[in-house]
Structure 1
Amino acid sequence: MGETLFVSDIHLAPRRPALTRLFLDLLEGRARHAARLYVLGDLFDAWIGDDDDEPLHREIGAALAALTAAGTQCFIQHGNRDFLIGRRFLRTSGCRPIPDPHPLTLDGERVILMHGDLLCTDDLAYQRFRRRVRNPLVRRLFLWRSLAWRKALAADYRRRSTAANADKSAAIMDVTEATVRRYLQRHRATRLIHGHTHRPADHPLLIDGRSATRMVLADWSERGGELLVHRPGAGFRREPLLPAA
């Protein structure tokens, strides 16, 4: 088996072409030699439906299709920004959806993959909002509206979300340790990998007498990104991704 790669919180957007180039470089280079690529949410900064005619979305879909055609399996988990990614994009890109949380085994170790927003249970307002917008009926009603209406609403939501987060404490927007422990215990796992909080670090834990680790992936910017790599028999390592000179 080859390497397994993990990324999260890339936040691709038309206004950030350097970020797009950085992700395309990964797909056209390093990822071609990997067995699997896992995108743990927020690949896009916003997604208002598979019918959006944004050229960036077609470009990324085509690059992912080329990657999967070359033999690398690609898995996508919904984030809080792009949870409306649907069957059309997944079909044309060749990517496979995975639930949140998603358990798997690497080198005999039980691992959980999550976007991370489900772990922030102290943020009660966000968790209520999340349950509401993820309701299948609400999603269908939203996608039924015109593309122009959805774009306007998404732009308004981003403005309000930025303002609301500015008033929240850092602790509320971080994960709740008791919730982390519950997920690890529920899945009998010793490693949790997630993004969302934009606070990359490795956190050691003790779960029912067993050593465990919570690995937080970094968010990407025009200055660079981060790749978490698992190599069979060699464990995990973080690698920086820098823009081409």
Structure 2
Amino acid sequence: MKTYFISDLHLTPSRQDITDCFLNFMETEASHADALYVLGDLFEFWIGDDDSSEFANTIRQAFIKLTDSGVPCYFTQGNRDFLVGKRFAKQTGVTLLDEVAVIDIYGQSAVVLHGDTLCTDDIKYLAFREKVHQPWLQWVFNCIPFFIKKKIVSKVQSDIKDDKQTKSLDIMDVTQKEVENVISANKVDLMIHGHTHRPNIHSFDMNEVAKKRIVLGDWYTQGSVLEFTEQGFELQNRAFGNVFPKDS
């Protein structure tokens, strides 16, 4: 029995190696799991559920095949794919999670989220995030013809890239205070998130109670997977170009 967690794949047509690794993982490993959790930034940027490109449809088909086989798949929106919506969920069979969600993993409660909201020192980004998450603005954007949305997104991506180059790495990491606030508010001992691209398992105490924070890795140079079983969990890598054997 295994449950998998992934995030920060940043899938894009220009990185076929990442896409191939993801599709292979879905076919040979996720298809035999108890569940799959995608904790945001599956895409480099998701322009909207009306994307009918060959690339977008290939990714949809991977999820359709997985959920049709009976494997539940849960999706948390990230800062790159916050426009993944109900239409995508209906098309693929995935279940959209709230921004912060408490789940049960083999009897253990955990809070899962993308992780961008934990980076409270990044004030400029959080202001941008609040703006683009306004329902009325998203509604207007979704009504715009797709080719115009592509131009807008291209400009936004360029601005984001320029902004990141001027920020310190510390600003783009989580703050411990916010981590503890979220854990306390949700009354759990375990947090799982992505976003920071700093895979690690952090252990700390809160009021003399042991807590853990698992950070998922990105897929820029290799696949990164959190494998969770009844016996425990492990952060694992998947080399690009490798074919994973199907579980027996």
Question: Is TM more than 0.5 here?
Answer: yes
What corresponds to 1:230 in structure 2?
A: 228
Match of 1:214 in 2: 213
Q: Name the aligned partner's letter for residue 229 of structure 2.
A: R
1:17, CA displacement in angstroms?
0.8
1:86 maps to 2:85: yes
* Contact 1:5/1:37, CA 8 A, preserved across alignment: yes
**Aligned 8 A contact 1:184 1:190 in 2:** yes
Give the equivalent residue in structure 1 for 2:245.
none
RMSD: 1.0
String of CA shifts for 1:5-30, please: whole Å, max 9, x gaps: 00000010011111111000011101
1:159 Cα deviation from its structure 2 partner: 0.8
State the distance in 2 between where 1:57 and 1:32 align: 20
1:41 Cα deviation from its structure 2 partner: 0.2
SS at match of 1:206: strand
Distance 1:4 1:47 in 2: 25
Tell me how far 1:169 sits from its aligned partner: 1.2
Residues 6, 39 of structure 2: 8 Å contact kept = yes
2:237 pairs with one of 233, 237, 240: 240
**In structure 2, distance between residues paired with 1:210 and 1:105:** 19
Partner of 2:124: 125
Q: Could you tell me whether the CA contact under 8 Å between 1:184 and 1:207 is conserved in 2? A: no
* Letter aligned with residue 98 of structure 1: L
Code of the aligned partner of 1:19: I
Q: Which runs of 5+ in 1 are unaligned?
A: none
In the TM superposition, what are the counterparts of 1:41-52 in structure 2 within 5 Å? 41-52=40-51
* Structure 2 SS opposite 1:112: strand
Q: How does 1:68-107 map to 2 (within 5 A)?
A: 68-107=67-106
Which aligned pairs between 1:38-187 and structure 2 lie closer than 5 A?
38-187=37-186
Q: Does the 8 A contact of 1:9 with 1:42 survive in 2?
A: yes
The Cα shift of 1:137 comes to: 0.4
Take 2:124 and 2:224, find their aligned partners in 1: how far apart are those partners?
30
Deviation at 1:226, TM superposition (A): 1.1
**Matched residues in 2 for 1:20 and 1:210: separation?**
40
Post-superposition CA distance 1:88-126 (Å, at most 9, x none): 211111111011211112243221101000100111111
State how far apart, in whole Å, the 1-side matches of 2:76 and 2:94 are. Answer: 10
Task: Name the SS for the 1:99 alignment partner.
Answer: coil
Looking at structure 2, the residues matched to 182 and 216 of structure 1 have their Cα atoms a distance apart, in angstroms, of 17
- Matched residue SS, 2:109: strand
Residue 47 of structure 1: CA displacement?
0.9
SS of match in other structure, 1:171:
coil
- For the 8 Å contact 1:41–1:79, the answer to whether it is kept is yes
Q: Gaps (5+ residues) in structure 2?
A: 243-248
SS at match of 2:188: coil
Deviations along 1:192-242, whole A, 9 cap, x unmatched? Answer: 110000111111111121100111100002x3211101111x111122111
Q: How many residues align?
A: 242
Letter in 1 for 2:135: P
CA offsets per residue over residues 14-59 of structure 1, 9 Å max, x none?
Answer: 1111111100001110111101000000111111111122211101
TM-score normalised to the size of structure 1? 0.96
Secondary structure of 1:199's counterpart equals: coil
1:19 equivalent in structure 2: 18
CA distance in 2 between partners of 1:37 and 1:164 (Å): 32
